[in-house]
Amino acid sequence: MDTGLFTANNIWMMLCTALVFFMHLGFSFLEIGLTRQKNTINILFKNVFIICVGLLLYCLGGFNLMYPGEFNIIGDGVLGFAGFGIAAPELGMTPEYADGGYTWWTDFLFQGMFAATAATIVSGAVAERIKLTSFMVFTLVYVGLVYPIVGAWKWGGGFLDSMGFYDFAGSTLVHGVGGWAALVAIWLLGARIGKFDENGNPKVIQGHNIPLATAGVLILWLGWFGFNGGSVLSADPELTSLTLVTTCLAAAAGGVGAFSFSQILYKNFDLTMFLNGILGGLVGITAGADLMGPTDAILIGIVAGIIIVLAVAMVDKLKLDDPVGAVAVHLICGIWGTLAVGIFGAKASVEQFLIQLSGVAIVGAFCLIASFIILSIIKKTMGLRVSEKEEIEGLDEAEHGMSAYADFRMNDH
């Protein structure tokens, strides 16, 4: 491979790394926009913490846990670990590494950005009532251990990879991993005060800044150019352009599918449903963005948009409280996107569908058990939920002693 192509590939991957980093601003805007003013600083603190700690953990051990090479602890690709810290191998800065797609350092940074995303998904679901220190401890364990172990099963050449499981950019390995933990967390935490009336009927707790939430979704859509486009792992012209087309078409179809179906059911044009439909389409296409044609991507997106509306209603019916719709978007649309690899596109077959289903079940079982154990221990030792007084007052004052909008306060209790 000539030096020019190697350099172009590496520059593309660095740009994609920057776009995935930018997604964390999108998550932050979305989460604060869909929640109340009095919890803004708390949510922003959590999101900044996730990026910083996620990168440090990935450097200390996560990268070598996720990509252990020949270092097996439990055989057949179940668990391996190549040691603490990171150091570039002899050919890590040359075209000999990763088929000339990028350097070792770019590889680490790109994958590290993905690691932090799994905890960000949980952050939105548990917003407005989780103890900050408890969330921080959970993030340390989940990002440090659970995410890289699951990632190794496929992307690190583990047993899911051997059985033919396919997940291009993480419908299951990123979004599902975060979504399963979010589901367990909101179940153990319980609903926010005022979310359900005395008869158990859900009540709308209006987010304080829908324009910010909209900006967040559009930033996330842009960031997905790096999330999916970078998962090509080179600047291959045909594959990167196809991936960006299918990603965008699925997002657009997801948004249209969600607001249309919501309008049919509820007779109103719900912007928040529209926004989550876009995200659902993005999560849905992520497992097979490189395998699909335009029509396949649109169909996957439309189904994801419909799923969003039904899943949000189902979460409410189960008396679970998810302020930003994280379970619907990341878990349920992640499952759909992973299964869609066996239904649409280049790998569509009954056999592939069953492999995809098996992969979803294995990852789901592991993440459910792991997150339940971690959160249950935290609940018994540190406690998970803030006091009623702190929740009513708002976590900005209770946990941080400050207001996000010091010169503009409003009654949002």
Q: 38 and 413 in contact (C-beta within 8 Å)?
A: yes
Element (H, E) at 74: strand 72-74
* Tokens at 321, concatenated: 């409280």
What is the value of pTM for the model shown? 0.95
Tens-level pLDDT at each residue, the chain (413 residues): 678 999 999 999 999 999 999 999 999 999 999 999 999 999 999 999 999 999 999 999 999 999 998 888 887 889 999 999 998 888 999 999 999 999 999 999 999 999 988 889 999 999 999 999 999 999 999 999 999 999 999 999 999 999 999 999 999 999 999 999 999 999 999 999 999 998 889 999 999 999 999 999 999 999 999 999 999 999 999 999 999 999 999 999 999 999 999 999 999 999 999 999 999 999 999 999 999 999 999 999 999 999 999 999 999 999 999 999 999 999 999 999 999 999 999 999 999 999 999 999 999 999 999 999 999 999 999 999 999 999 999 999 999 999 999 866 555 54
- Comparing C-alpha atoms, which of 40, 60, 59, 171 is closest to residue 118? 171
Domain boundaries, the chain: 3-400
Distances in Å between the alpha carbon of 291 and those of 125, 151, 235? 31, 20, 17
Residue 341 backbone dihedrals phi, psi, to 5 degrees: -60, -30
C-alpha span between 118 and 149 (Å, rounded)? 13
Residue 288 backbone dihedrals phi, psi, to 5 degrees: -135, 30
C-alpha span between 107 and 17 (Å, rounded)? 9
* Tokens at 310, concatenated: 């039904």
Query: Under CATH, what is the fold of the domain 3-400?
Result: Ammonium transporter fold (1.10.3430)
Q: Secondary structure of 301-314 in the HEC alphabet?
A: HHHHHHHHHHHHHH
